[in-house]
Structure formats: structure tokens, C-alpha cells
Amino acid sequence: MKKSLFALAAVTAFAGAAQAQSSVTVYGIIDMGIAGANNRNAQPTSVTKSTGLGVTQSPQSTSRLGFRGTEDLGGGMAAFFTFETGLLPNSDAAGGLSTFNNRQAFVGLSQKGIGRFALGTQQTGIHSAVGRTTAGGQNNIVGDVIYTVNGNSPMSAFAQTTSYGLTGGQSYVVRVNNAITFATENLSGFQGNLMFVASGNDTNQGGTAAAPTGGQNTNSGYGVGLDYTLGKLLLTANYASFTNTTTAATAGVSPTTAPTFVKFSNSGQLATPGSNVVDNTMYVGGTYDFGILQAYAGYINRKASAENNSLYFQRYTAQQIGVRSNLTKTVNVFASVGTGAWENTGFDMDSANVNGYQLGTNYVLSKRTNLYAIFGNASQSSAANSTINPATARNTSYNVNNYAVGVRHTF
């Protein structure tokens, strides 16, 4: 009897020790608010105005559900994973889920003293750097010229036209599929990260001369970044390059024909609808904690060029400064202001200047729950356009006010 009790105790202790070496955490955000917008959009031949007001999801942070876990493998090595999907709390879709697995899903290994290695759908180094060096915290209100709101935003119904001349409205690729990443540990204040992407290679060919099929369609890319931390100072520099190459020809279209211009998608899928495109982005930013407030600054430059003809390109540049301050233990405020410009060449030869600013405040109820109020403004100057018929030209200017009050709970 004593031996049986001893064996049972040993097995229980061993199971407890094994369980202590691994852990799985469920986390997420539910964000709901009342939001509105006023939009004035000047066409070449007319002016339109629109307003919106209502209950909506995710004004401050995109709602999400995630699972992350780690396992201690011994010798300073550990395994880890993350799986994250978006949530639509203001929708009657099944379970309130958006497109399943549309955020992060990766697995990897880490080694103490070296760094961490991961494979799967992951955020780009630029997205992570922008999150650390912008005052607004990547909210979904217009007015941030670095982290621009696009048509895929949960707030797109209230954001109106704020694409800053970018097709799709995103100033950088947020996340990519089929990514391999490596991040070093902090070494004397320096920390580096690398990303490689390769996917979508189809070499099957068939059909007829009039209607060929198949061919090769490849998405590839890489990213590199470096952070430097010294006391209350953080500096970051990042670069990413993504290429879509299509060698297949469809009827009447040559592989060397200038491509349909790239659509800047926050999913990073450059083949929709662009093809034969090289998409490069550079971001530098920094922040400094003065105690009574934290200062932020950033600069971004994104250029997407036709792979077969560099005269066809779309470019967006912007710079922004911001501050954030804790007025009390429960109240903090932030503000940002930025300017930028975009241009298209070889496509419809238009360009414009853009401006944006944001003001916001948070009232902290607990470690996990806060109330917020955010106001943003985005505007674009009249766009120069070489199109002969003005009725077919782009929107020449716009001015949008976007605002929201709500509650955010993290878990």
C-alpha cells in the first residue's frame, strides 16, 4: 500500500513538473465605441459631402482573439507558438469571427543568449517598430500619416476616403504569410531582426496559343531592422522589400507589359491585383521619455515599381511627431501631427500633399479596461493630374473629421 501511494505521489509530482515547464495563454481585445465622421470630397466636376454616426467596433484597437504558448526544452532552449484571429463584436457572423486566421499564426524556437526563430504568418518588423514609435498606438481613426487607415479597417465605414493616394490606403505591409523570422536578444542596447518570405510558385503550363494557362507566380521578400535603446531613448531603423513575379502570359498580354498597379494590402499579398511589382519600404523612428511626457517621431518612404519598367511606380512619403503624457494615475492624453505626399508616374501622373493630426485621451479603469475618446483629421490637397478628360480624373481633394468614444477591454 505504501509503495502504491509512493508511486502515485511520484507520478503526480512528475506530471506537475512537466506541466510547469509549459504554458498556454488565451488573450484578446474587445473594443466597442460610438464613432462618426464628416467627409468633404471634391471631384473634378462636383463636390460631395457625407456624414456618419453609430455604434461600431474597434476604434482604438482591432478586436482579436489569440492563443500563445511556450515550452521549456532545457538548456536555455524553448518552443513557442502564437495563433491569432480577428473578432467582429458588432457583427452577427458566426462566433463574431472575421476571416479566420487573418492575423498571426506561427511556431518557433528560442535559445537564451542568441535569439528566437519563427515560421508562419507574422507581422513585419516595420509594423512592430511603428507601434513603438507613434503616439496614437496604431488606432483605427484617421489622421495618423504613418499608420494609415485603409479599406480593410474595422472603422472603414466611418473613415471615408483617406487613402492618401495609396491604392488600398496602407503605407506599409502589416503582416505576411510564409515568413521566416529571426530576432536577436538585446546586446548592449542593440537588437536586430530579419525576415524572409517565399511562396506561390506554380510552374504548370498548358492551354492553347490563344488562351495559355499556368506559368510561374512567385511572391518573395525580405526585411531587416535594428533597434537601439539607451536609457529612456529608443531609435529604430527598418527596411522591407517584397516582389511579385509573374512569368505566365494570358491571351493578348505579354509578360513584359506594364503591370496593373500594385494594391497596397495590409495582408501583404502583392499579387492582388498587382503583378511583376517590386515594393520597397523604409521606416525610421524614435521615442524619448522625458518623465512628464513621451515624445515620438517617425519617417516612412514606400515605393512600388513595375518590375519590368521602373518608370511605372507609386510612392508615398510622410513624417510625423507626437507626444503622450500621464496627467494623473488614471488619465493620459496624446497628440500627433504629420505631413506627407504621394505621386504616381507612368500610370496617371498625379500627385498631392497630405496632412493629418490626432488628439486623444484614455481614462484607465483597471489594468485591463479603459475608456477613450479620439479625434482625427485627414486632408489632401488638390491632386495634379495629366488626364485629358477631367471627368475621369482622380478625386482632387478631401477633408475628413473622424471621432470616437468607447470602451476597450483586454484579457
Q: What is the pLDDT of residues 324-375, one digit of tens each?
A: 999 999 999 999 999 999 887 765 567 888 899 999 999 999 999 999 999 9
Q: Is the pLDDT of residue 76 over 80?
A: yes
What's the pLDDT score for residue 44?
Answer: 67
How many other CB atoms are found less than 10 A from the CB of residue 38? 17
For the segment 253-266, what is each residue's pLDDT rounded down to a tens digit?
A: 343 443 343 443 33
The domains of the chain, with CATH numbers, are 35-60+121-181+213-410 (2.40.160)
Q: What angle do CA 275, 281, 285 make, to 5 degrees?
A: 160
The average confidence (pLDDT) of the chain is 80
**Residues 274-329: pLDDT tens digits?**
467 788 999 999 999 999 999 999 999 998 887 766 677 788 899 999 999 999 99
396 three-class SS: coil
Range with the largest mean pLDDT of 21-25, 119-123, 242-246, 392-396: 119-123
User: Can you give the pLDDT at residue 11?
Assistant: 39
Amino acid at 260: T
Dihedral class, residue 165 (left if φ above 0, else alpha if ψ from -120 to 50, else beta): left
Taken in order 221, 262, 301, 404, the sign of the CA dihedral is negative
What pTM was computed for the model? 0.84
CB 318 within 8 A of CB 338: yes
For residues 340 and 342, what is the distance between their CA atoms, to the nearest angstrom?
7
Q: How far apart are CA 301 and CA 346, in angstroms?
A: 19
Give residue 159's pLDDT. 57
CA distances from 316 to 153, 154, 161, 306, 352 (A): 19, 23, 16, 15, 10
Comparing 40-54, 55-69, 142-156, which segment has the lowest mean pLDDT? 142-156
Confirm if 257 and 309 have CB atoms less than 8 A apart. no
Question: Closest Cα partner for 139 from 159, 112, 115, 123?
Answer: 159
Mean pLDDT on 87-101 = 65
Q: Which of 90, 58, 254, 65 is nearest to 156 (CA)?
A: 58
pLDDT exceeds 50 at position 219 = yes
CB 312 within 8 A of CB 345: yes
Give the list of residues 6+ apart from residue 250 with CB closer than 8 angstroms, or none: 211, 212
- Does 19 score more than 50 pLDDT? no
Question: Is residue 212 pLDDT above 90, yes or no?
Answer: no
